[in-house]
Structure 1
């Protein structure tokens, strides 16, 4: 488990300064920041390539395939997702530097651990959003 250093906690506390925009789209709510996105997919949604097109377009608009960023999946809801879709994700999103998963129950932890096996990109499981943001800041600051 990753924990923030006292210095990085200051960075996390200043996260509102890097907030860009909130989008509510068909599959959920997505909060865009300077170097990371917090995604909250709606309960019961089926997250796949087709349903995610609008999100992919938003990622391209905000990060322009040049700005390093981390995607944080804030798993407050249950939804459908095929972890095999994480294969070769770095080829489709070259500036995606990490994938954080925030879980709130043991079942989602098991699912998240399975997801980790399908990607070579830095992936980390967290039990709170603050640690995930701290990790995202660290990952993107070294890019």
Structure 2
């Protein structure tokens, strides 16, 4: 299921950002990617994403990341290591898988991500998990 077809697109305020390789949605608590079929996420694409969201990343805002992988594409897992070493923006990540192969890839990526990474069967599970992280609960109690 695509984010805009989910109930959360009506419940959450978000910004839609389109790239040649896919679409990202920015909410208060998470970035959600829906990337195009057949692409390979490499340093070039990662650099474009970091550049677009650099103010969010550099100002120390803590956020979750959801990869909604309803399309099949490849991902260089080394990017998780590089990102973790250079930035501290993501508190956790969720990967929504729609096939056994996608689940296996997410399992491999989990080995490279130094923070919590949850493999989910559907978009609702991923969003609920991210929204209920204790880091976000603490933030809402301070306001």
TM superposition score normalised by structure 2:
0.81
**Partner of 2:3 in structure 1?**
none
CA distance in 2, matches of 1:52, 1:107: 22
Give every structure 1 segment of 4 or more consecutive aligned residues whose post-TM-superposition deviation is greater than 3 Å.
Answer: 13-18, 61-65
Whether 1:122 aligns to 2:116 is yes
CA distance in 1, matches of 2:27, 2:15: 7
Q: Please, which of 52, 56, 72 is the counterpart of residue 58 of structure 1?
A: 52
Greater RCO structure (CA 8 Å; 6+ sep): 1
CA distance in 2, matches of 1:14, 1:126: 16
Gaps of at least 5 residues in structure 1 are 1-12
CA distance in 1, matches of 2:10, 2:28: 10
Is the 1:65–1:93 Cα contact (8 Å) retained in structure 2?
A: no
**Partner of 2:98 in structure 1?**
104
**Partner deviation per Cα, 1:21-63 (whole Å, 9 max, x = no partner):** 1011021011110010110111111211112322112322345
**Partner deviation per Cα, 1:67-111 (whole Å, 9 max, x = no partner):** 110110000111121112211422322121011100011111111
The 1:32/1:118 distance shift into structure 2, 3 A limit, reads same
Is the 1:27–1:52 Cα contact (8 Å) retained in structure 2?
A: no
Q: Secondary structure at the match of 1:115?
A: helix
Report the CA distance between 1:14 and its aligned residue. Answer: 6.5
Query: Counterparts of 1:1-143 in structure 2 under 5 Å?
Result: 16-139=10-133, 140-141=135-136, 142=138
CA-based RMSD:
2.2
CA distance in 1, matches of 2:63, 2:80: 16
**How many matched pairs?**
132
Q: Secondary structure at the match of 2:72?
A: coil
